[in-house]
Amino acid sequence: MKLDSTRMPLAHERVPRPDIYVDGHPVLIFNRGTVRRSGEEALRDNIEAAMWVMEFVKPLFGPNRLNKLITVREGRSTLTFLSSDLRTIFRKVKVEHPLARFLAGAGIAVSREKGDGAVSTILLAGKILEKCKRLLDLGMHPSTILDGVISAYKKVLELSDKLTVKELSLEQTIRLGIRSALLGKLPMDEVDHFTDLLYRAVQLLGAENLRREGSSLVDFKKAPGGSLRESHLVEGLALTMEIPHVNMPRMVEGARIAAIRGELRIPNKKLTRYMDYSFSFEDPGDMEKFEGLKKSFLTELAHRVTDAGANVIMVERGIDDFLLEYFAERGILAVRGIPPPEFDRVAKAVGAKITTHLDHTSREDLGWAEKIFEKKLGRQRLLYVTGCRNPGTLDMVLRGSPKHLLDDVERVVKGALATVKAVAEDPRMVWGGGAFEEQVALYLRRYANQLPGKIQIVVGAVAEAFEAMPAMLGENIGLREVDVAAELRSMHARNRSTMGVDQNRRGIADMSESFILDPLAVKLQTVKSAFEAAVTILRIDEYIIARELPEPERHYVERIKKSEKQVPGEEE
């Protein structure tokens, strides 16, 4: 037998060792060192990973949620984040276990779609799995547990309409939905302020438009400094632009706006990647003549715009310094360097036809706004455009410090707008403070008593998982879990279905008196995602964590693969 010398390892390489030999030939099924778990051992490991995620996010639950202080190293810098936003936390904290990462992703998906419910999804799924693990420890077969969980899931979906609060108008529903989405994610002093801002945005834009378009109708501008309470809604646009000339007007009323694509100057750099130009002058007089012709050409461009009646000129790219002086002398406001997405948005809002060829500019092409003015907020200058011809968009200016706090606030407010969209699609509300979950637990226990065999034990365990939700809510405001669970179970059994945990009163109270409600759309999505995550984890009977090849083995495998890809006859 001829020995293939190319398959011999080099000095820095090592041949991966096979798992078994068949008829004397090595067979590599899994890399040596691969971790395998199967059966109930794998199921228990997966449930414990989910329970770890549940305990990790538990302090983030409810209106009295706590923050996580995260320190990460990016390059040579060490960055510190203070956040209670689940998406921010899991973006900075890398979760290695695949099932833990899956459960975190399920919660974040709910938050993206409905604007809220991320933590609730993880907690409910974790509690369901925790109760199932106890049944597993008692010797119940995983298939029986799975059947019981699915049976409970179907029953919960049937109960949704029965637990709905009927006597609310759409306006009340939207306002309560906004407040519910903001509670616990912003300081309590600021919740009412941002609720008012967002409700005003809904009034201006219309619930139907928000249902179709979502948060894209509201743009966010950040002006670091000041306090969150200084954040405000602009009924128009707020551009992060500065007026480029000191003599230009700082305010224009009755603005007639020309929107010009491109630039108002002779390019002083390359035209394109492959086209360039240059000038050479043999006579000094030619230079003066050239400058005169240049000014004449630029003045002609300016006349084409001003003759149409424009007193505000917005240009996508640059404006020649000569023209800036020209416009300033005539009291015309010019704004340059507006990036393309913002430029299109401005043109649409003011009703201007975007002009690329100034030869065809007319009065009909101009947009209109009641007022354009500059305002300084901290170190940031903003250009406000209010009273637009097409008031279909709004801007929200966020104040506060540090900057990463504003990033968190923007995510929270966008989440609240997603909740508005969900509420506009399904305006049904349920009592908050854990009253909904306690009622679900009550109905599930009654349903379990009607079931035969071991499935009733599983459904009862799922009822306990729902009952744990208000108990955890109570724990986060300083109450004992067992006391909250016992008292709420007793009250709901006596048909006091509106009783829940009230953070303001630091105890159990009537949610109809405190007027604490949650959108049913968010609750349903939370329940669906939690059950789906739990069922997915319960269906896994084996997991394999592949061993990564050490560097010597990796070098050998890569070299052999490259040699096998070579076409026969290419080597000399």
Task: List, in order, residues 6 or more apart from 253 with CB less than 8 Å away.
Answer: 370, 371
For the stretch 280-302, pLDDT in tens is 777 778 778 888 888 888 888 88
Q: Could you tell me which residue, 361 or 519, shows the higher pLDDT?
A: 519
Which of 338, 364, 390 is the last residue before a domain boundary? 390
Q: Taking 70 as the threshold, does the pLDDT of residue 3 lie above it?
A: no
Same domain, 552 and 449: no
User: Within a domain: residue 102?
Assistant: yes
User: Within a domain: residue 227?
Assistant: no
Query: What pLDDT sits at residue 550?
Result: 67
Choose among 94, 99, 123: nearest CA to 37: 99
Burial category of 23 from C-beta neighbours within 10 Å (exposed 0-12, middle 13-18, buried 19 and up): exposed
Same domain, 559 and 535: no
What is the C-alpha separation between 398 and 378, in angstroms, rounded?
12
How far are the Cα atoms of 121, 166, 184, 501 from residue 476, in angstroms, in the given order? 17, 30, 11, 10
Write the DSSP assignment of 273-294 as a string of letters: SS-------SSHHHHHHHHHHH
Q: Could you tell me which residue, 125 or 421, shows the higher pLDDT?
A: 125
In the three-class reduction of DSSP (H, G, I as helix; E, B as strand; rest coil), residue 12 is classed as: coil
Q: How many Cα atoms are found within 13 Å in the side-chain-facing hemisphere of 374?
A: 18
For the stretch 95-135, pLDDT in tens is 888 888 899 999 999 988 888 889 999 999 999 999 999 99
Same domain, 255 and 371: yes
Same domain, 444 and 474: yes
Query: What pLDDT sits at residue 563?
Result: 77
What is the C-alpha separation between 235 and 212, in angstroms, rounded?
20
What is the C-alpha separation between 317 and 311, in angstroms, rounded?
18
* Of the ranges 126-140, 215-229, 382-396, the best mean pLDDT one: 126-140
User: Within a domain: residue 397?
Assistant: no
User: Within a domain: residue 202?
Assistant: no
User: Within a domain: residue 218?
Assistant: no
Query: Which tokens belong to 315?
Result: 């240009």
Range of the domain at 343: 236-390
Choose among 125, 49, 100, 186: nearest CA to 469: 125
Report the CATH number at residue 85: 1.10.560.10
Report the CATH number at residue 367: 3.50.7.10
- What is the average pLDDT across 178-184? 84
Amino acid found at 476: N
What is the C-alpha separation between 419 and 180, in angstroms, rounded?
9
User: Within a domain: residue 447?
Assistant: yes
User: Within a domain: residue 482?
Assistant: yes
520-538 and 39-57 helices, crossing angle to 10°:
150
User: Within a domain: residue 95?
Assistant: yes
What does pTM read for this prediction?
0.78
Amino acid found at 326: Y
Same domain, 487 and 520: yes
Same domain, 561 and 520: no
Same domain, 242 and 366: yes
Same domain, 128 and 247: no
For the stretch 151-163, pLDDT in tens is 999 999 998 888 8
Same domain, 108 and 14: no
Beta-bridged to residue 331, according to DSSP, are none
Which of 366, 390, 414 is the last residue before a domain boundary? 390
Choose among 523, 525, 432: nearest CA to 179: 432
Give yes or no for a contact between 355 and 257, defined as CB atoms under 8 angstroms apart.
no
Same domain, 247 and 351: yes
Same domain, 446 and 536: yes
Q: Taking 70 as the threshold, does the pLDDT of residue 472 lie above it?
A: yes
Which of 330, 360, 390 is the last residue before a domain boundary? 390
Q: What is the tally of structural domains in the chain?
A: 3
Give yes or no for a contact between 239 and 383, defined as CB atoms under 8 angstroms apart.
yes
How far are the Cα atoms of 198, 232, 251, 409 from residue 377, in angstroms, in the given order? 21, 12, 16, 18
The phi, psi pair for 494, rounded to 5°, reads -95, 25
Choose among 52, 46, 36: nearest CA to 132: 46
Poorest-confidence range of 54-68, 134-148, 217-231, 541-555? 541-555
The phi, psi pair for 334, rounded to 5°, reads -120, 135
Query: What pLDDT sits at residue 23?
Result: 54
DSSP 184: T
Query: Which tokens belong to 129?
Result: 């799995």
Same domain, 253 and 360: yes
Q: Could you tell me which residue, 2 or 53, shows the higher pLDDT?
A: 53
